[in-house]
Amino acid sequence: MPASGIADLPYRGELMFDTANPDPNNQFDAIVVGAGPAGSTFAENLARASFRVALLEEHPQVGVPTHCSGLVSPRALEIAGVDRKEMGLREYSQARVWAPGGATLWLRSDTVQAIAIERDRFDQLLARRAVDAGARLMLGTKARTFRRENGQIAVQATTPRGEVQLRAPLLVGADGAGSRVARWMGVNGKHEVIPAIKADVAFTNGGTDSIEILVGSGVAPGWFGWVIPLPGGRATIGLGATGSARDHLPAFLDLVRRRFGDYTLEHTHSAPIPLGPARDFVGDGVLLVGAAARQTKPTTGGGVYLGIRAAQLAAATASCALAQARALSRGNLSRRALAPYEDEWHRLEGREVTVGHRLRRAYRRLSDRELDWIVATAAQPWAQRLISRLGDIDFPAQLLSALLRDLPRKVWSSPTFKRSNVPTFERDDVPTFERSNAEPVHEPRPELVEGPAP
Ligand SMILES: Cc1cc2nc3c(=O)[nH]c(=O)nc-3n(C[C@H](O)[C@H](O)[C@H](O)COP(=O)(O)OP(=O)(O)OC[C@H]3O[C@@H](n4cnc5c(N)ncnc54)[C@H](O)[C@@H]3O)c2cc1C
């Protein structure tokens, strides 16, 4: 898939709502709500298969405001067909974890593990490609209500020029955290949401060269804080926390200043990270992709890679379902016709998310003392070898799972640690990460570690 040039990127405001719809009934094959990475990827893929796609974005500009820190894997850019040299601000092969007591753990790799991108430009590039493929992008257009009508779904939306009603056999909720489409589907049951806040800063002295991860109850209880250095002394910093991220911001800003040097604070932006995934993300004539389906990693909150993967799988299923419906002169799409998307997503990505959830439950229960202990233990050479072998930001659960399973065995043979210092993990908390029989669509992952009995 060719990457569009960045130089001619529009959508910094100039492409407004387009009324020139050739169909006076506003009839489409699919209405996609939300022009984030998941929505635009879905729209591009479906439009390439010659279906009529409406892509609705409530803001007048794609990608703005941005709440994301913009850290993605090389794999995420690769599957999106985006040139990392063109889009990447900076590449990283190491990160440092700071324990509450100040001990540090280096996570190092021989290869680039993460790339910082400008999320607004990234989203604009994907939206532009959707338009180039034939999707109709409607900016400043907010989907308000949804209704079933003769086997189709009618979407009532507000635009800068008033109300509009669109119809399609397929509605796609790509409307992020707090998705209206998910609420309408009734799948937004009880789930964990991490309040997060990010800030853009410019270091006036000091700074750092690696990604910094800060954990502990005084910094970011239940989640973590981060510093992502960018070129020219700039950085994106932020934190998530159970409770309120904003309440913990002053202490976090102080800690960053003490550890990495003085800086000026430019913007802050807070947004929730929904952890999931939703149990059912398809229904009759409707499906969810990306953060709307809570397709995020429960260990890190990252969702760009998972959202794009989901959108590609969903578009492949939707193309078949729409083609079949057309061939049979049927105007509606059943849940059954859309189910292969959900099955395929669970087969390919579900394990990481399930294991990630169990690790998250264990993480939430750790005290600062236990975090200190884990960081100190994981700094040992055996753990470092595991880290360099299994480290992968798209699949953090496989490394964490292997580390936790190996910890006790290594510790008993070490004179450094006392048994009383060792946190106890219930067997259920430390799942074995088994290789799926699925044919991986991404690069093959390294061999996974069999969990030794503690
Ligand atoms: C502070 C923070 C930092 C993060 N950092 C990272 C990171 O470094 N790396 C990473 O991989 N992930 C990160 N994430 C998660 C990541 O941002 C999301 O998983 C990702 O953006 C999901 O993409 P999406 O396309 O599903 O939804 P979004 O990117 O949220 O896009 C949804 C779009 O839908 C639009 N919309 C919503 N409702 C409507 C409506 N009714 N009508 C029309 N349009 C609507 C919105 O305006 C938005 O443009 C972070 C999240 C937070 C909160």
Write the residue with the smallest CA distance to atom 53 of ligand 1: 271
Q: What is the number of other CB atoms lying within 10 angstroms of the CB of residue 199?
A: 21
In this structure, the number of other CB atoms found within 10 A of the CB of residue 23 comes to 11
Ligand 1 center from residue 297 Cα (angstroms): 13
Predicted local confidence at residue 255, as pLDDT:
96
Task: Kindly tell me the burial class for residue 22, based on how many C-beta atoms sit within 10 Å of its own C-beta (0-12, 13-18, 19 or more).
Answer: exposed
If you measure from the C-alpha of residue 272 to the centroid of ligand 1, how many angstroms do you get, rounded to a whole number?
9
pLDDT number for residue 423: 61
Which ligand 1 atom sits closest to the C-alpha of 38?
25
Indicate which residue's Cα is closest to atom 33 of ligand 1. Answer: 34
CA of 304 to the centre of ligand 1 (A): 8
Q: Which residues line ligand 1 (CB under 6 A)?
A: 33-39, 56-59, 67-72, 142-143, 174-176, 180, 196, 198, 238, 271, 273, 290-292, 296, 301-304, 307
CA atoms within 13 A of residue 35's CA, in its CB half-sphere:
35
How many C-beta atoms lie closer than 10 Å to residue 418's C-beta?
A: 9
Q: What is the pTM of this model?
A: 0.89
Task: Please report the atom of ligand 1 found closest to the CA of residue 177.
Answer: 30
Q: Which domains does the chain have, with CATH numbers?
A: 3-65+120-190+277-353 (3.50.50.60), 192-276 (3.30.9.10)
Distances (CA, A) of 449 to 20, 54, 276, 355: 57, 45, 25, 14
Residue listed under structure tokens 């699919």: 30
pLDDT for res 15: 43
Residue 194 Cα to ligand 1 midpoint, Å, equals: 14
Sheet of 71-72, strands arranged across: 71-72, 114-117, 88-92
Dist. CA 324–CA 343, nearest whole Å: 19
Residue 162 burial class via C-beta count within 10 angstroms: exposed 0-12, middle 13-18, buried 19 and up: exposed
Q: Give me the pLDDT at residue 429, please.
A: 59
- Give the span between the Cα atoms of 67 and 35, in whole angstroms: 14
Please, is 231 exposed, middle or buried when counting C-beta atoms within 10 Å of its C-beta (0-12, 13-18, 19+)?
exposed
Contact status, residue 141 vs residue 39, Cβ threshold 8 Å: no
DSSP symbols for 359-385: HHHHHHT--HHHHHHHHHHHTSHHHHH
Ligand 1 atom closest to 289 (CA): 26
Sheet with 152-159, strands from edge to edge, namely 142-149, 152-159, 162-168
What pLDDT is attached to residue 20?
46
pLDDT for 419: 56
8 Å CB contact between 355 and 403: no
The confidence score (pLDDT) of residue 383 equals 85
pLDDT of residue 424: 62
- Give me the amino acid identity at 431: P
Q: What is the pLDDT along the chain (454 residues), one digit of tens a residue?
A: 333 333 333 333 334 434 445 456 799 999 999 999 999 999 999 999 999 999 999 999 999 999 899 999 999 999 999 999 989 999 999 999 999 999 999 998 889 999 999 999 999 999 999 999 999 999 999 999 999 999 899 999 999 889 999 999 999 999 999 999 999 999 867 789 999 999 999 999 889 999 999 999 999 999 999 999 999 999 999 999 998 999 999 999 999 999 999 999 998 999 999 997 777 899 999 999 999 999 999 999 999 999 999 999 999 999 999 999 988 888 789 999 999 999 999 999 888 888 888 889 889 989 999 999 889 888 888 888 888 888 888 888 888 888 877 776 666 666 655 556 556 665 555 665 554 434 333 333 332 222 222 2
Q: Report phi then psi at 75, rounded to 5.
A: -60, -40
